[in-house]
Amino acid sequence: MDTTVGSGRVITMPVITEDGQPIEDPNSTGEQQTNNGPLTKEVIQWKLLLHQIGLDVNRTDRTLVYYESQENLARLWDILTVYAWVDTDIGYCQGMSDLCSPISIILEHEADAFWCFERLMRRVRENFKSTSTTIGVRSQLTTLSTIMKTVDPKLHEHLENLDGGEYLFAFRMLMVIFRREFSFIDTMYLWELMWSMEYNPGFFSMLESNSGPPNEKDENTLKQCGKFERKKLQAAKQEEQIPLSVFVVASVIEARNKRLLGEAKGLDDVVKILNEITGSLDAKKACRGALTIQEKYLTTVKAS
């Protein structure tokens, strides 16, 4: 692939031109890579991504002590570059480093971290598919608009009047699954909760109600989660079940109802108000709000 992968280094400067000619690295230690003939289009495309991945890695979770280590930065870069090699359709897009970082930190072995990230990307890779006319999370934003119009028509109308009815300002939340809106710890809680609830919708209420160890009923419920995993996911897919993440976004917006109605005079104000929440949201509070909105929305839809 490239001698830098696995070397403990992170590339932040281009290593190749768009026509496949190598660019000499001024920081090179002297090792030279030899190519047997011209590079293929796929290899050139991959090598053009290497420095962009490096730039993003150096900006990811910079407040965490973990990334004061060059070794850990290189580990994140390795995982992302190998993924870009494996998934030639998506390659690498900004935001992937935000998704990969927690996995790289939590899992000790790099190979385990890579395959866990690869599995996560199977869930969210469509988010990164964009064209000149549409973005990957468009369908989720459309669903979000429908939800807000149902549960808070006044706020939805206000946002529409500000040209925000397509909810593009919520793009980042869905793209990187709330990595910027919540702290690192709260993001991990939120991720695990949302994915657990796909198998057991009552999981959050169990966490909320049980301050002590789980009782026998709870344990039996949890044991069924793995057993019926495939069946439940297939049923949810057939029903086109709305992901909990969309309701979490609705909860975040709804929690700022008064400010958005009272202070937002344009779309820039909407973005400013929502950007102020970066890293400061409470995951449990957001989940409570999301489930309340979910219940209200489903009840309203069913009644109509």
Same domain for 152 and 77: no
Query: From CA 98, how far away is CA 177, in angstroms rounded?
Result: 9
pLDDT digits (tens, 9 = 90+) for 35-71: 566 889 999 999 999 999 999 999 999 999 999 999 9
Per-residue confidence (pLDDT) for residue 210, from 0 to 100: 56
Per-residue confidence (pLDDT) for residue 8, from 0 to 100: 94
The set of residues, in sequence order, having a beta carbon less than 8 Å from that of 109 and lying 6+ positions away, is: none
Task: Give the whole-number percent of the chain exceeding pLDDT 70.
Answer: 82
We report the CATH number of the domain holding residue 4 as 1.10.8.270
Query: Which parts of the chain sit beneath pLDDT 50?
Result: 29-30, 32, 213-214, 222, 225, 227-229, 232-233, 236-239
Assigned token pair, 256:
């700022």
Same domain for 286 and 192: yes
Per-residue confidence (pLDDT) for residue 199, from 0 to 100: 74
| DSSP line for 63-87 | TSGGGGSHHHHHHHHHHHHHHHHH-
| Number of structural domains in the chain | 2
> What is the span of the domain harbouring residue 65?
1-128
Same domain for 165 and 70: no
> At which of 100, 128, 156 does a domain end?
128
Same domain for 211 and 86: no
> At which of 98, 128, 158 does a domain end?
128
Same domain for 295 and 256: yes
Query: From CA 13, how far away is CA 11, in angstroms rounded?
Result: 6
Assigned token pair, 258:
């008064």
Per-residue confidence (pLDDT) for residue 242, from 0 to 100: 86
The set of residues, in sequence order, having a beta carbon less than 8 Å from that of 69 and lying 6+ positions away, is: none
Per-residue confidence (pLDDT) for residue 91, from 0 to 100: 94
Per-residue confidence (pLDDT) for residue 25, from 0 to 100: 66
Same domain for 165 and 240: yes
pLDDT digits (tens, 9 = 90+) for 117-139: 999 999 898 888 877 666 778 88
Same domain for 290 and 145: yes
Same domain for 295 and 190: yes
Same domain for 149 and 111: no
The conformation of residue 14, written as its DSSP 8-state character, comes to -
Per-residue confidence (pLDDT) for residue 234, from 0 to 100: 52
Per-residue confidence (pLDDT) for residue 304, from 0 to 100: 80
Side chain identity at residue 52, one-letter code: Q
